[in-house]
Amino acid sequence: MHANTLLSRRPIGDLLDVAGACAVQNSPPGSALLALAARVDGVTGDHVDHLVAQDKSLLQTWCMRGSPFFFPTADAPVFTTGVLPTTEAARLRLIGGVGPALDTLGIGLDEVVKRTVAQIGPVLSQRATAIGELGAELADRIADTLTAAQRTAWQSPGPYGANQPLGEAVVHFCLRILTLRGIVCLAPRTGNTAPFVLLEEWLDGPLPKTDPAADRATLLRRYLRCYGPSSRGEFATWLGVRAGDVDPWWDTVANELTPVEYDGRRRWIRTEDLEELRSAHEASGVRLLPPGDPYTQTRDRDTIVDPKYRRAVWKTVGAPGVVLADGAVAGIWRPRKSGRTLTLTVTPFQSMSSRLRALLREEAAPVATLRGATEVDVRFDDPAS
């Protein structure tokens, strides 16, 4: 909780430092704003929009597990180059699901990424384009570079979406690699769409040239700071690859790690964090964490949630928010907005004291404001079984 800035809120001037701890996932859309508000005083949507759209000091792009994240622009190499796997096989696993399509086409991932890179400039220059339109335009251009047999498969319906050609779906996958190569990023949402832009145009210049090995090392150090003690397998799951893929990250910092035993299993922590791990931190108060919050991104889930409540907290579709009370995950919450009123339905895992209920209602007011509501109604369900 200390490493995830959940013991006490930081001042608004520290927002970029907080976002840079391990980046902040923004799926479902808007969850990053709530996660930052749980950690930083005075967060508003206008302030975050300014950092992204005008100041350009906060960047959004696809990152770990192919999901959209916010992080400081100054840390972009860590969360782009530092995330990109070093082998084609691992890159395939990171973006997931495109392998059968590539087999049908008889093209490797790196080759189709190369063709996408060759076309992205002419298609996206001086534009902000949603993925549907962008993918269709890129696919049309790439089709002209293929053999007749490949073109037929490329333009045929694929299994990924209704009436979506196979090649267009492949391009969607490839764009995830382009984000990690610092070629494209996400511009602020317009309505329900987060359009793509060329990163170099968005920032008025390319990302600085850095050492990929150093970027991977920094990423792992930040991960271990927020989620250690941890194992190779847990880091791999957080990143979106397999345990056997993470040597290029792990080996670079192996001499900085100390093994520890927890629950009969060996894990590793950064040696410089070991003393702090042994120190007690007081945790009090309530936080309403959104779905996908950095704190619940830990892969050692039993350390923060009783196993019998895991299915309630972590859902593949329609995940709830989490109630953090006095240092414990004490329940889940779901919002429903009607007009200008936001109703928060809280399901505690066990009986909740009147003090915690009062604190929770206080926390709910700024959540409502961030969701565009002027009134908030907090309702409590019976404790979850």
CA distances to 66, 108, 242 from 36, in Å: 21, 39, 29
pLDDT exceeds cutoff 80 at 280: no
CA distances to 215, 236, 328 from 382, in Å: 47, 37, 18
Whose structure tokens read 């604190």? 359
Q: What is the pLDDT of residues 32-56, one digit of tens each?
A: 999 999 999 999 999 999 999 999 9
pLDDT exceeds cutoff 80 at 384: no
CA distances to 59, 96, 97, 108, 158 from 100, in Å: 32, 10, 7, 11, 10
Is residue 370 a contact partner of residue 34, using CB atoms and an 8 Å limit? yes
pLDDT exceeds cutoff 90 at 196: yes
Which of these, 382, 369, 320, 318, lies nearest to 342 by C-alpha position? Answer: 369
367: confidence class by pLDDT, cuts 50, 70, 90 = very high
Measured distance CA(38)–CA(366) in Å, rounded = 10
Per-residue pLDDT, averaged over 177-198, amounts to: 94
Measured distance CA(10)–CA(33) in Å, rounded = 15
Phi, psi of 63 (to 5 degrees): -145, -125
* Percent above pLDDT 90 for the chain: 90
Per-residue model confidence (pLDDT) at position 219: 98
Q: Is 28 in a helix, a strand, or coil? A: coil
Whose structure tokens read 């339109």? 133
Per-residue pLDDT, averaged over 169-180, amounts to: 98
Indicate the average pLDDT of the chain: 95
Per-residue model confidence (pLDDT) at position 347: 96
**C-alpha angle with apex 260: 257 to 266, nearest 5 degrees?**
100
Name the least confident of 78-92, 134-148, 261-275.
Answer: 261-275
302: confidence class by pLDDT, cuts 50, 70, 90 = confident
CA distances to 4, 60, 64, 282, 329 from 40, in Å: 11, 19, 23, 18, 20
Q: What is the pLDDT of residues 82-135, one digit of tens each?
A: 999 999 999 999 999 999 999 999 999 999 999 999 999 999 999 999 999 999
Q: What is the pLDDT of residues 216-229, one digit of tens each?
A: 999 999 999 999 99
CA distances to 24, 70, 213, 324, 344 from 6, in Å: 14, 18, 30, 9, 21
276: confidence class by pLDDT, cuts 50, 70, 90 = confident
Measured distance CA(180)–CA(59) in Å, rounded = 13
Q: What is the pLDDT of residues 307-366, one digit of tens each?
A: 999 999 999 889 999 999 999 999 999 999 999 999 999 999 999 999 999 999 999 999
162: confidence class by pLDDT, cuts 50, 70, 90 = confident
Per-residue pLDDT, averaged over 258-283, amounts to: 88
Per-residue model confidence (pLDDT) at position 97: 93
Higher model confidence: residue 248 or residue 190?
A: 248
User: Helices (DSSP H) in the chain: which residue ranges?
Assistant: 15-19, 31-37, 45-53, 76-79, 88-95, 99-105, 109-124, 131-143, 148-155, 166-180, 199-202, 212-227, 232-239, 247-253, 274-278, 310-313, 354-370
